[in-house]
Chains A and B, each alone.
Chain A
Amino acid sequence: MTQNTATIASDAFVLDPADRAAILEERAHYPYPQAASIEALKIVQKRHGYVPDGAIPAIAATLGIRVADVEGVATFYSLIFRQPVGRHVILICDSSSCFLTDYEQLRDALIDHLGIQMGQTTADGRFTLLPVCCLGACDRGPTLLIGEDLHGPVTPEALPALLEAYA
Chain B
Amino acid sequence: MSRILQPASERRAETHPLTWRLHDDASPVLFAEYRDTGGYAAVTKALEQHTYESLTTEVKGANLRGRGGAGFSAGMKWSLTAKGDDVPRGYIVCNADEMEPGTFKDRLLMEQQPHLLIEGMILAGYANRSKQGYIFLRGEYHRAAASILRALDDARADGWLGSDVRGSGWDFDIALHTGAGRYICGEETALINSLEGKRANPRAKPPFPGQSGAWGLPTVVNNVETLCNVPGIVNHGADWFQALSGERSSDGGTKLYGASGKVLRPGLWELPMGTTGRELFELAGGMRDGLTLKSWLPGGGSTGFLLPEHLDLALDFDTIGKTGSRLGTGLITVVADDQSMVSLTRNLEEFFARESCGWCTPCRDGLPWSVKLLRALEAGTGEPGDIELLEQMARDLGPGKTFCAHAPGAAMPLSSAIHYFRDEFERGITRPRGEAHADPIPVGSI
Answer yes or no: B178 CB below 8 A from chain A CBs.
Answer: yes
Nearest CB in chain A to that of B5: its residue: A139
Answer yes or no: B47 CB below 8 A from chain A CBs.
Answer: no
Residues B177-220 near A (CB distance < 8 A): 177-183, 194-200, 215
Kindly provide the distance from the CB of A28 to the nearest chain B CB, expressed in whole angstroms.
9
> Looking at the complex, which one of B100, B139, B335 makes contact with A134 (CB distance below 8 Å)?
B100
Measured between beta carbons, the chain B residues less than 8 angstroms from A37 are: 197
Kindly provide the distance from the CB of B115 to the nearest chain A CB, expressed in whole angstroms.
20
Answer yes or no: B130 CB below 8 A from chain A CBs.
Answer: no
Tally of A-B residue pairs with Cβ under 8 A? 146
Nearest CB in chain B to that of A132: its residue: B140
Which of B31-39, B101-109, B240-248 faces chain A?
B101-109
Kindly provide the distance from the CB of B74 to the nearest chain A CB, expressed in whole angstroms.
22
Measured between beta carbons, the chain B residues less than 8 angstroms from A88 are: none
Give Cα A101–Cα B260 distance, bound, in whole angstroms.
9
* In contact, A35 and B180 (Cβ under 8 angstroms): no
Nearest CB in chain A to that of B180: its residue: A77
Give Cα A32–Cα B193 distance, bound, in whole angstroms.
13
Kindly provide the distance from the CB of A51 to the nearest chain B CB, expressed in whole angstroms.
10
Measured between beta carbons, the chain B residues less than 8 angstroms from A35 are: 177, 195-197
Measured between beta carbons, the chain A residues less than 8 angstroms from B259 are: 139
* In contact, B199 and A96 (Cβ under 8 angstroms): no
Answer yes or no: B239 CB below 8 A from chain A CBs.
Answer: no
* In contact, B101 and A91 (Cβ under 8 angstroms): no
Nearest CB in chain B to that of A139: its residue: B266
Answer yes or no: A31 CB below 8 A from chain B CBs.
Answer: yes
* In contact, B103 and A76 (Cβ under 8 angstroms): no
Measured between beta carbons, the chain B residues less than 8 angstroms from A99 are: 344, 347
Answer yes or no: B141 CB below 8 A from chain A CBs.
Answer: yes
Answer yes or no: B351 CB below 8 A from chain A CBs.
Answer: yes
> Looking at the complex, which one of A80, A96, A148 makes contact with B344 (CB distance below 8 Å)?
A96
* In contact, B139 and A42 (Cβ under 8 angstroms): yes
Measured between beta carbons, the chain A residues less than 8 angstroms from B177 are: 29, 35, 39
* In contact, A96 and B301 (Cβ under 8 angstroms): yes
A134 touching B103 in the complex, CB below 8 Å, given contacts A78-B181, A100-B344, A145-B140:
yes
Answer yes or no: B355 CB below 8 A from chain A CBs.
Answer: yes
Answer yes or no: A11 CB below 8 A from chain B CBs.
Answer: no
Give Cα A140–Cα B180 distance, bound, in whole angstroms.
23
> Looking at the complex, which one of A33, A94, A148 makes contact with B351 (CB distance below 8 Å)?
A94
* In contact, B199 and A76 (Cβ under 8 angstroms): yes
Measured between beta carbons, the chain B residues less than 8 angstroms from A42 are: 139, 178, 180
Measured between beta carbons, the chain A residues less than 8 angstroms from B99 are: 133-134, 136
Answer yes or no: A56 CB below 8 A from chain B CBs.
Answer: no
Give Cα A19–Cα B350 distance, bound, in whole angstroms.
37
1/0 contact trace for A118-155 toward B, CB 8 Å?
00000000000000111111111100010010100000
Interface residues on A, range: 35 or more
Nearest CB in chain A to that of B186: its residue: A133
* In contact, A138 and B355 (Cβ under 8 angstroms): no
* In contact, B351 and A133 (Cβ under 8 angstroms): yes
Answer yes or no: A108 CB below 8 A from chain B CBs.
Answer: no
Give Cα A100–Cα B259 distance, bound, in whole angstroms.
12
* In contact, A138 and B102 (Cβ under 8 angstroms): yes
**Most A CB within 10 A of own CB, among B102, B344, B351:** B102
Nearest CB in chain B to that of A97: its residue: B260
Answer yes or no: B419 CB below 8 A from chain A CBs.
Answer: no
**Most B CB within 10 A of own CB, among A37, A73, A134, A139:** A139
* In contact, A38 and B355 (Cβ under 8 angstroms): no
Kindly provide the distance from the CB of B297 to the nearest chain A CB, expressed in whole angstroms.
7
1/0 contact trace for B345-380 toward A, CB 8 Å?
001101100010000000000000000000000000
Give Cα A108–Cα B136 distance, bound, in whole angstroms.
33
Kindly provide the distance from the CB of B285 to the nearest chain A CB, expressed in whole angstroms.
12
Give Cα A33–Cα B198 distance, bound, in whole angstroms.
11
Answer yes or no: A117 CB below 8 A from chain B CBs.
Answer: no
Answer yes or no: A34 CB below 8 A from chain B CBs.
Answer: yes
Give Cα A150–Cα B153 distance, bound, in whole angstroms.
25
Measured between beta carbons, the chain A residues less than 8 angstroms from B195 are: 35
Answer yes or no: A17 CB below 8 A from chain B CBs.
Answer: no
A134 touching B200 in the complex, CB below 8 Å, given contacts A76-B182, A94-B347, A139-B258:
no
Give Cα A141–Cα B2 distance, bound, in whole angstroms.
11
* In contact, A138 and B331 (Cβ under 8 angstroms): yes
1/0 contact trace for B138-153 toward A, CB 8 Å?
1111110000000000
* In contact, B182 and A38 (Cβ under 8 angstroms): no
Nearest CB in chain A to that of B345: its residue: A96
Measured between beta carbons, the chain A residues less than 8 angstroms from B182 are: 76-78
Nearest CB in chain B to that of A40: its residue: B197
Query: 7 extra interchain contacts, Cβ-Cβ under 8 A, other than A80-B181, A133-B355, A140-B266?
Result: A30-B197, A31-B215, A34-B196, A34-B197, A76-B182, A96-B102, A97-B333
Which B positions have Cβ atoms within 8 angstroms of A?
1-2, 98-104, 106-107, 138-143, 175, 177-183, 194-200, 215, 258-262, 266-268, 297, 301, 331, 333-336, 339, 344, 347-348, 350-351, 355
| 14 examples of A-B residue contacts, CB within 8 angstroms | A42-B180, A72-B198, A78-B182, A79-B179, A79-B180, A97-B260, A99-B347, A100-B262, A100-B333, A136-B140, A138-B103, A138-B258, A138-B333, A148-B143
